[in-house]
Structures are given as structure tokens and as C-alpha cells.
Amino acid sequence: MSADLEWTTDMDDHGIKTPILQVDDLAISYETRTGDVPAVRDVSFEIQRGEAHGIVGESGCGKSTVAFGIVNFLGRNGRIVDGHILFQGQDLVGRSQEELRRIRGDRIAMVYQDPMQALNPSMRLGDQMTEVLTVHRDVEQKKAEEKCIQMLERVYMPDPANVMRRYPHQISGGQQQRVVIAMALLNDPALLIMDEPTTALDVTVEAAVLDLIAELQRDFDTAIMYISHNLGVIARVSTKVGVMYAGELVERASVKDVYLKPYHPYTQGLMRCVPRLGMDKTSSYLYPIPGRVPSPKNLPAGCVYEPRCDYAREECRLKKPELREIEADRWARCHFAEEIAQVSWEPPADLVPDLAALEERDEVTETILEITNAKTYYEAPSKQLIGGEAQYVKAVDDVSFGVKKGQTLGIVGESGCGKSTLVKTIIGMEEPTGGEFEFMGVDVSSPVSQRDLALIQELQMVFQNPDSTLNPSFTVGTQIGRPLRRFKTVPGDQVRAEVVRLLEMMRLNESYYNRLPRQLSGGEKQRVGIARAIAGRPELVLCDEPVSALDVSVQAAVLNLLLEIQEEIGTTMIFIAHDLSVVRFFCDVIGVMYLGQFAEIGPAEAIYAPPYHPYTEALLSAVPIPDPSVEQKHIRLSGNVPSALNPPGGCRFHTRCPRRTEMLSDGGTICETEVPPERTAEDGHRIFCHIPLEDLRQMEPVVTTTE
């Protein structure tokens, strides 16, 4: 964790004290048809040699714009209107392209979220990498290749010589990102800017890449500017962090200070609205930040956060606060930072939830959905031109579980584990290859087009992407009204009243009735999507990553809403997510999927404590936790997820299992040949593993709090 990175001692003080990067009062605007948009204002920070500095903020807060400003990549309509960017003491603002290129030379490198943005899809990786060395530096081709292979080894790329001969699409996303990082490091840059480099990666891959970044930063003495929306990721890689909001830096301090004792109300709000790993809905509550980020065209006159701030006073509305040093090396942009940090925050009265009510729910035993040996295979096109055996992608392979009425089942797993296919099969959008599906005593293995309306009504879905969940051509009212009309939930003349009631349940008022989707924010769209799903009063709602595309502050509001709905109308839910903290918070029962099968399924609290399935253990240790006081076990999975076209025999996890050789007597050879048995622990907690339950119980908890 961050403490390890504090390598500087007094003795090294004789070196150069100039920061690698110093940004002073930076302001960047974009020209648009309707006038200039000030995307970034008044941003100042510095990055010392060898330091990892995080920039955290929600989408649209200007964090990427700052990065693009530094590398002068603002596009045709963006320009720096004010301020200075000093790179190693030399000002980059106001220089010509040519001068910039010379000053910056190969000393600043940038890594983007999408590695394919940096890789040329039509060139072999080896050629792209060696080009870096041969073009500017006249390194001989052969030497350049050697050097590239060394660098690939350095980023722990398996079989680097082979990778050099491949094209970008032939390696996985995590490996692509490693290649991009290796390429960036070939020039030995003084500053490496990373813009959400792990956001598109799965959590176990992300953990490995983050480890790599921390290690490289130490070894190469490279200063890193790390941009992310994820507080946990920032906590893992950086020593200092700047929090951005609506184009301004609102707080800046060491990671520990910011996380444990934030000064700025926005930072405090952020900390309160993310579920920490281990929090659950019966014992805690997420406090969303009210309102939404102001548009940069229409900023408040005073403090930018004032409209959403719980502490706002008259002064905040009138006077814009400066970023000022509250204590040594702790900066915050708030008039009352000292006062509010002392005041322990009390949630507004209307927000205090009735947690007891949740806990007091009756124990129901009625199983509403029973699935036995479910299989969904997709036929993969044969590679041969004529004939050839048909191959099947076993997206879901032999999965059995039941969901009780009123419960929430969470399904977690990395991309490609089959969790979405499972849900689509249940709702009838995919046809199952085999197995029994029983919902309220009715067989539901038929596709949706063959089901009768009464059954269709009972199963509804909430989708992941807020931008595509609503039909852009129709108003909110029409779209929520449609299931009401179709299922005849209410008489035709009451549809409007019912829609308004649903909107109010979503905490949207009547004025939303006539809006078009593009006039809504992401969170609002998602709420309308939920309203549409529950309009027909379904018994079971399937949620496919409903909050993963939302900003954290909005995410909290949507999660709370789902909880309230569940409480109010007693809906059963299946909730898919890749974020383990969210699932832990939200669900009663959790299933962990790997390559089309359950690795483990059981009550939420049992999944997050020993006995663990080795895969669950690895997942938990990979989750970035936004809390520096928490210790996590360090377990990293090697290799890639095998293809579902040809899954490994025996236990599907055996190719990556870090536990089998140490915990099984014969070195785990049994895992390669035999399908693991189902081991049942207390409360219906089932683990599919060859390692005996007693041994699994002996495992240390992955997450421990040190304080």
C-alpha cells in the first residue's frame, strides 16, 4: 500500500528540488457553437520526482482535460486560456508545437484507458515497439528488439518473444495495456500520465496492472500522474491525491489524509457514498450527494459546490473560495474547511433510513425461481470452410440455484464468466441448451416470444447502459406508460396518474413526464429505466449491472432507490455486478461465477469470510478499497481467463488456481481431471472445490482493518 512508497529519506535531499511537473492556475476552455466552455479553471498542483499523484473526480470534472492540456492534445477547439504548466522547470504554455516537441521530447508519456488508442492494429507489436527506439535514437534493429523483449519481461508479459510477433488484437486487453506501458517506459520518461489505464480491465487484471505500475514507478523513478474516477484505485497507486469537481481542484493532500479526514464537503460526500467492502444494507446506508454537477457554461457565482453542499452558507453563494493550505501540505477550496472538518457530519433527517425495517423482514422460505443444471451454449462458427465440427461456447454450463421470494441474489464474476447470459436465459432472450427453469411453478425455458403475457409481466429487467436503456425517440412518460398499457396494470385512463406515481417513487417529479431521454442525466435515465421495469409490478426484476456506468455519487442514489423499491413492493431481484463492494452491500445471497459455472454461492456475509473458494479469495484481494487503514491479502492470479470455447477439464479454475498446489496433498492433480465436488457449509453456502472444507476454513480473512 501507499506507505511502502515513502522511500525518500533526508539523505536524498541534495538532489534537484524542482518538481517534475508544476501546474499553476491552469484554465482550459473549449470553443463550441454556443460560446467558450471553461472546462478547467484555476487548477494548481505539483508532482515531485518519482511521486505518484492521483487525480480523482467524476465524469466531466475536467481531469482528462488537464492531462490533455499537459501533453498539448486539446484538439482544434481546446486551448489553454490562463496559467502555466512547468515541466522540469520549463514552461510549456505559449510555446510552438516544435518547441514543445523539443522540450518535452520523449520525457512525457501517456497511457490511455483504451490501449487500442495507442496501438496500431495493422502492425505487429514488435515493429511498433522497436520503432520507438529505432526512429529517434538510431538503435540497431536487433538491439532494439532485445531491449523491447527485456522491457516486456519487465512488465511480466508471458512469452515476450512470441508477443512481439503478434498483432494487437491477438492478445487480451490486460496484455495490451502492458504493452502500452512497456512502450511508454522504453523512452524512460520523467513523467508518465495515466488516464484511467485500468478502468476497462477486470478486477483481477486491474490489480496486477496496479501492482506493476507501483513497482515500475519505484524502479524507474518516474513521476506518475494517475487519473481515475475510482477512489480505491487511487488509494492503491498514489501517495498524493487531488480531488477535482466541476473543473476545479477542490482538495489536495496525501492519500491517507484525504481518505481518513477529508476537509472539503465534496470529498466527504464522495467518501460517504461509496460502499466499502464489507458494508451491507442492514447495517449501513449510502449517502448520495444531492443534485448534479453544474454545467461548465452555467456555473454558480460563488463556490462551485455550494448548490449541493450540506454546509452551504451565505458566504459560499457570494464569494468563490480559493484553494488554500489548511495545514501543512493539505489544501482545500472551502471557506469553512476548518470548521466542517471538526463537526461530525449528521445526515439530513429525511435521509436517515430505517435500517431496522430491513432487518426485520420475515424469513421467507418460498422459492420463487428454481434453476437446475442450466446450460446455454452458443454455436461458434467453424473455422473450416466446409464441414468441420460445430463448436460451442459454453457460456453457462451446468448451473443450479434457487431464489427465494423477496431476496436479492447477486452474481459476480469477471467479464465473460456467463453472468449476463444466465440472466438473459432466465428472461427468455436466449434459448437454453438444457436444464430446468421453474419460476413460480411454471416452466420458463421457452423464449420470451412463446411465453404468455402474464408470465412476461412477472419478469422484468433493468439494463446497464443509461445511454441506451431508453428509446431516444419517445418521452419518459410514453416509455413508462407502455408496460402499463401492455400489461393492463391500470385502466387506460389512469395510465398517466400511475406514471406520475412511479416517477415520484423514483424521486422525479411530474415535469419529467414530457422530457426526452437526451434531456436527462445518466442517473435520471437509469431511474426511468427502473420505473419502466417495475411498472408492470413484476415478481422478479433482473438487474444487469444497473449502476456500473454511473458516477459514484449517482450510484449511491440509484442503489438506495432499488432498496426502497424492494422494501415497498417486495420484489425479488437478481443483481449482476462486477463490483464486489456493491454486491456485498446490496445482496442477500451471492453467487461467484467463473467460466460459466458457479465457484461458490451462499449468503453474502459467508462469501466474504472464510471458507473461501480460491477464486473468490483472489477476487476479494484484488478489489481496490478506498480506505488506507485496511489491509488486504496479496493474491494475484496468473495467466488469462481460458476461452469458453474450450474450457479446461476438471475444475475450470485449475489453470489459475493459486491454492491447489499448496493445499492439496498430490499438488492438485485431481483438479485437472475431476469436476470438483459440491461442499456445503452452513446456511446453504456451497463451494465447488476439491480442497476440503476444513482446510478452506483455515484461510485468513482477505480484508482486515488495522485500526
Interface positions, 228-287, toward other proteins (CB under 8 A):
none
Minimal distance, residue 561 CB to other proteins, in Å: 8
Q: Residues 54, 62, 247, 428: which binds other proteins (CB under 8 A)? A: 428
Is the Cβ of residue 314 or residue 350 nearer to other proteins in the bound state? 350
How far apart are alpha carbons 352 and 287 in whole angstroms? 9
Minimal distance, residue 291 CB to other proteins, in Å: 5
Is the Cβ of residue 175 or residue 469 nearer to other proteins in the bound state? 469
- How many chain residues touch other proteins (CB under 8 A)? 86
Verify binding: residue 608, other proteins, rule CB under 8 A. no
Binding residues for other proteins restricted to 542-571, rule: CB under 8 A:
557, 560
Half-sphere exposure of 423 (CA within 13 A, CB side): 26
Task: Please list the residues that pair with 90 across neighbouring strands.
Answer: 87
Is the Cβ of residue 287 or residue 615 nearer to other proteins in the bound state? 287
Do β-strands 248-254 and 240-245 pair in parallel, antiparallel, or remain unpaired? antiparallel
From 313-321, 434-442, 462-470, 649-657, span contacting other proteins (CB under 8 A): 462-470
The x, y and z cell numbers of residue 702, run together, are 482477505
The x, y and z cell numbers of residue 589, run together, are 445471497
Q: Residues 273, 396, 461, 689: which binds other proteins (CB under 8 A)? A: 461
* CB neighbourhood size of 127 (10 A): 16
Binding residues for other proteins restricted to 74-113, rule: CB under 8 A:
88-90, 102-103, 105-107
Binding residues for other proteins restricted to 300-319, rule: CB under 8 A:
307-308
Verify binding: residue 22, other proteins, rule CB under 8 A. no
Minimal distance, residue 693 CB to other proteins, in Å: 39
Task: Please list the residues that pair with 679 across neighbouring strands.
Answer: 687
Minimal distance, residue 116 CB to other proteins, in Å: 20
Rg (CA), the chain: 27
Verify binding: residue 507, other proteins, rule CB under 8 A. yes
Minimal distance, residue 559 CB to other proteins, in Å: 12
Burial of 548 per CB tally in 10 Å (0-12, 13-18, 19+)? middle
Is the Cβ of residue 99 or residue 672 nearer to other proteins in the bound state? 99
Residue 604 · residue 590 · CB < 8 Å:
yes
The x, y and z cell numbers of residue 526, run together, are 437509469
Verify binding: residue 460, other proteins, rule CB under 8 A. yes
Minimal distance, residue 687 CB to other proteins, in Å: 33
Binding residues for other proteins restricted to 153-192, rule: CB under 8 A:
187-188, 190
How far apart are alpha carbons 686 and 679 in whole angstroms? 6
Q: Residues 41, 154, 240, 532: which binds other proteins (CB under 8 A)? A: 532
Residue 50 to residues 106, 240, 256, Cα–Cα distance (Å): 17, 12, 18
How far apart are alpha carbons 664 and 682 in whole angstroms? 23
Verify binding: residue 526, other proteins, rule CB under 8 A. no
Within 8 A by CB and 6+ apart from 281, the residues are: 355, 358, 563, 585, 586
DSSP state of 644: T
Verify binding: residue 290, other proteins, rule CB under 8 A. yes
Residue 178 · residue 209 · CB < 8 Å:
yes
Minimal distance, residue 425 CB to other proteins, in Å: 12
Is the Cβ of residue 113 or residue 521 nearer to other proteins in the bound state? 521
How far apart are alpha carbons 443 and 127 in whole angstroms? 56
Minimal distance, residue 585 CB to other proteins, in Å: 18
Is the peptide bond preceding residue 611 cis, with omega within 30 degrees of 0? yes
Query: What is the helix (H) or strand (E) element at residue 420, kind and residue range?
Result: helix 419-427
CA angle 77, 79, 83 (to 5 degrees): 165
**SS3 labels along 181-196:** HHHHHHCCCCEEEEEC
From 165-173, 273-281, 471-479, 618-626, span contacting other proteins (CB under 8 A): 471-479
Q: Residues 469, 571, 581, 632: which binds other proteins (CB under 8 A)? A: 469
Task: Please list the residues that pair with 572 across neighbouring strands.
Answer: 540
Binding residues for other proteins restricted to 46-65, rule: CB under 8 A:
49-50
Verify binding: residue 222, other proteins, rule CB under 8 A. yes
Verify binding: residue 143, other proteins, rule CB under 8 A. yes
Half-sphere exposure of 704 (CA within 13 A, CB side): 9
CA angle 639, 195, 171 (to 5 degrees): 30
Binding residues for other proteins restricted to 187-206, rule: CB under 8 A:
187-188, 190
Q: Residues 372, 474, 496, 501: which binds other proteins (CB under 8 A)? A: 474
Q: Residues 21, 28, 56, 139: which binds other proteins (CB under 8 A)? A: 139
Binding residues for other proteins restricted to 345-384, rule: CB under 8 A:
350-351
Minimal distance, residue 295 CB to other proteins, in Å: 8
Q: What sign results for the dihedral spanned by CA atoms 247, 251, 255, 260? A: negative
Q: Residues 5, 93, 429, 675: which binds other proteins (CB under 8 A)? A: 429
